[in-house]
């Protein structure tokens, strides 16, 4: 008799994944809603959240999950006080058993949390698309992803779904093993009790002895249970709670970093910063910047696309045309416009002055001024060609080592309403520009979309004027570094002086209101040979 295979039944089969997200939202986050043709679940890992599913509003707390069926409108909002952490996963599953999840809010236990962690972990490994990007509409496979990562995502979702459906049966079966059930429940109650103790004492500098004494437990048992339930020791868990609290405070925006360090029992802001980076992989400033994009109201952010087309004065006022150029996350229409500096588009001369409002210059004067501008443009370009790209890169490296709060960004949209300092790097010209603003996004955008009036095109005289940053276009900027800070302008001059002047486009020292003549005499221009 030959062997016969039996085809496995798969009442819940997940073969298609749409999205994998882990969001750390601000306390005032609001998403106005959407509907789509696939299933999606939302799990509250931290904090609280109001979720609209159809006509019903549900208040979700930490540890709860909600499922949205295909075609169901859903929206969400934070409560303005607590900053939530969410896992959001979109997937395709047509099994009849999925009806179980309609109109349900469920609690997630230890096994479910482990599966959710696996989904997020494998999602990060399988796809190059950032997990915290709300604009993601299509996942991109990561080159060199670990073997079977995508399959593990699907199987983990299936296990999660099956686990929920079988929970009732599992609980009934567990009643036949009371000893095991009681032991598990007792251990979980112990973990919950100690966890609450640690949360209540988050501002203190507890030791392991303190925890054991106050909870009437031996050191070995405490560590054993915590390692079994959390994967680490009690002190490691306590440190994680502190960092989670710090992240929440940063997103809520109610305290500065120094205040947060004090509130959480750190000896100094420096120790707090080191611990924060050790746990999260980024500094508090980097983290504050990274979550700004998540404060947008819509998952798909089209504001930068529309805004750019309306405000950039070198875009013609006509309907949108393809093709588009995506530069640092900003959409630019490159039909009939220049996105990089050129001699032809450098100087637009009119006969009105920006400084003497209403003054009219003669046509002859404007023509001569244009000739001088173009001569100055050529002198600058020749100067840039004489510079060493290796020295320029070394200058940037040295600067970043001296000021480690600066970090590179890939998406300018991350800087919406972020105050602090920025460095625009123009690698093709061996030049950088250091600036500061209350809104870095808007300020850099203004550099890219501003055409200077002609009396600013030459700053000094024809032979020594440094070309203005606002004369360059969007694609001339190849790298951007930022240092978020609420204390703008105070350190701008320090940063400018720390960078070799031959590699800087800055015309004046930072934070000063001197006149053009004073700026020239202070040495902030250079002779171009």
In 98-217 the beta strands, taken as DSSP E runs, fall at: 105-107
Residue 217 half-sphere exposure, CB side, CA atoms within 13 Å?
A: 21
**Residues 443 and 418 sit within 8 Å (Cβ to Cβ):** no
Asked if residue 196 and residue 326 are part of one domain, the reply reads: no
* Interval 67-84 mean pLDDT: 86
259 has pLDDT over 60: yes
Do 141 and 259 sit in the same domain of this protein? Answer: no
User: Are 197 and 187 within 8 A, CB to CB?
Assistant: no
Least confident window among 28-32, 158-162, 372-376, 419-423: 28-32
Encode pLDDT of 49-74 as tens digits. 889 888 888 889 888 999 999 999 99
Distance CA 88, CA 39 (A): 11
* Spatial separation of the C-alpha atoms in residues 243 and 426, rounded to whole Å: 36
User: What is the C-alpha separation between 124 and 131, in angstroms, rounded?
Assistant: 7
158 and 86 together in one domain: yes
Q: In whole angstroms, give the CA distance from residue 244 to residue 201.
A: 14
* Domain with 370 in it: 304-521
Residues 233 and 91 occupy one common structural domain: no
pLDDT in tens, 279-336: 888 888 878 776 654 544 344 343 333 333 333 332 333 333 334 567 887 876 554 3
| pLDDT at residue 512 is higher than 50 | no
How far is C-alpha 93 from the geometric centre of its chain's CA atoms? 31
**Cis previous bond, 323, omega within 30:** yes
Residue 125 lies in a domain: yes
Beta-bridged to residue 61, according to DSSP, are: 48
Q: In the structure encoding, which two tokens stand for residue 116, read together?
A: 């959710």
pLDDT band at residue 463 under the 50/70/90 scheme: confident
Residue 203: how many other CB atoms lie within 10 Å = 13
Distance in angstroms (rounded) separating the CA atoms of residues 264 and 184: 32
Sign of CA dihedral 460, 462, 468, 471: positive
Residue where a domain terminates, one of 173, 195, 217: 173
Cα torsion 319, 325, 330, 333 to 10°: value is -20
> Once rounded to an integer, what is the mean pLDDT over residues 333-358?
67
- In this prediction, residue 291 carries a pLDDT of 63
Q: Which residue shows structure tokens 């060199």?
A: 144
- Domain total for the chain? 3
The region of weakest confidence among 31-45, 260-274, 505-519 is 505-519
DSSP state of 331: E
> Once rounded to an integer, what is the mean pLDDT over residues 509-514?
51
- Same-domain status, 474 and 358: yes
Whether the CB-CB separation of 47 and 62 falls below 8 Å is answered with yes
Handedness of CA 112, 113, 114, 116 (dihedral sign): positive
146 lies in the same domain as 254: no
Residue 10 lies in a domain: no
- Tell me which of 129-133, 155-159, 355-359, 471-475 is least confident: 355-359
Residues 334 and 471 both lie in one domain: yes
């Amino acid at each position: 008799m030959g062997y016969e295979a039996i085809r496995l039944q798969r009442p819940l089969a997940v073969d298609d994944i749409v999205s994998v997200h882990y969001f750390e939202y601000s306390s005032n986050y609001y998403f106005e809603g959407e509907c789509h043709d696939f299933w999606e679940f939302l799990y509250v890992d931290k904090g609280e959240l109001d979720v609209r599913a159809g006509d019903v509003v549900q208040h979700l707390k930490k540890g709860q999950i909600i499922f949205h069926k295909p075609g169901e409108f859903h929206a969400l909002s934070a409560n303005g006080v607590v900053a939530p952490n969410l896992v959001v996963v979109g997937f395709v599953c047509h099994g009849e058993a999925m009806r179980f999840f309609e109109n349900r809010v469920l609690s997630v236990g230890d096994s479910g949390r482990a599966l959710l962690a696996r989904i997020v972990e494998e999602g990060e490994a399988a796809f190059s698309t950032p997990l915290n990007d709300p604009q993601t509409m299509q996942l991109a496979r990561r080159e060199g992803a670990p073997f079977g990562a995508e399959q593990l995502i699907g199987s983990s979702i299936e296990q999660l779904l099956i686990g929920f459906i079988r929970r009732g049966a599992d609980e009934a079966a567990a009643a036949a093993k009371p000893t095991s059930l009681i032991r598990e429940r007792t251990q979980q109650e112990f973990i919950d009790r100690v966890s609450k103790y640690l949360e209540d004492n988050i501002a203190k500098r507890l030791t392991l002895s303190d925890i054991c004494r106050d909870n009437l437990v031996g050191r070995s048992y405490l560590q054993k249970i915590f390692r079994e339930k959390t994967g680490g020791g009690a002190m490691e868990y306590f440190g994680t709670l502190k960092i989670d609290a710090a992240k929440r405070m940063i997103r809520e925006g109610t305290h500065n970093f120094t205040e947060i360090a004090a509130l959480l029992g750190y000896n100094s802001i420096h120790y707090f910063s080191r611990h924060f980076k050790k746990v999260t992989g980024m500094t508090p400033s980097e983290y504050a910047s990274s979550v700004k994009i998540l404060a947008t109201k819509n998952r798909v952010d089209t504001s930068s696309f529309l805004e750019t087309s309306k405000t950039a004065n070198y875009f013609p006022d006509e309907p949108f045309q393809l093709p588009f150029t995506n530069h640092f996350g900003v959409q630019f229409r490159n039909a009939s416009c220049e996105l990089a500096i050129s001699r032809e588009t450098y100087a637009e001369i009119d006969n009105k002055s920006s400084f003497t409002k209403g003054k009219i210059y003669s046509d002859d004067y404007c023509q001569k001024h244009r000739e001088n501008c173009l001569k100055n443009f050529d002198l600058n370009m020749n100067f840039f060609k004489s510079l060493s790209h290796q020295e320029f890169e070394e200058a940037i490296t040295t600067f970043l080592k001296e000021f480690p709060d600066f970090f590179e960004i890939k998406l300018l949209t991350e800087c919406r309403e972020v105050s602090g300092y920025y460095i625009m790097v123009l690698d093709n010209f061996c030049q950088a520009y250091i600036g500061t603003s209350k809104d870095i996004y808007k300020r850099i955008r203004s550099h890219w979309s501003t055409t200077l009036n002609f009396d600013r095109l030459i700053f000094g005289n024809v032979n020594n004027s440094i070309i203005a940053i606002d004369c360059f276009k969007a694609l001339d900027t190849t790298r951007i570094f930022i240092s978020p800070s609420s204390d703008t302008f105070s350190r701008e001059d320090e940063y400018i002086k720390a960078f070799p002047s031959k590699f800087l486009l800055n015309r004046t020292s930072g934070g000063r209101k001197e006149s053009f003549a004073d700026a020239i005499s202070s040495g902030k221009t250079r002779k171009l040979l």
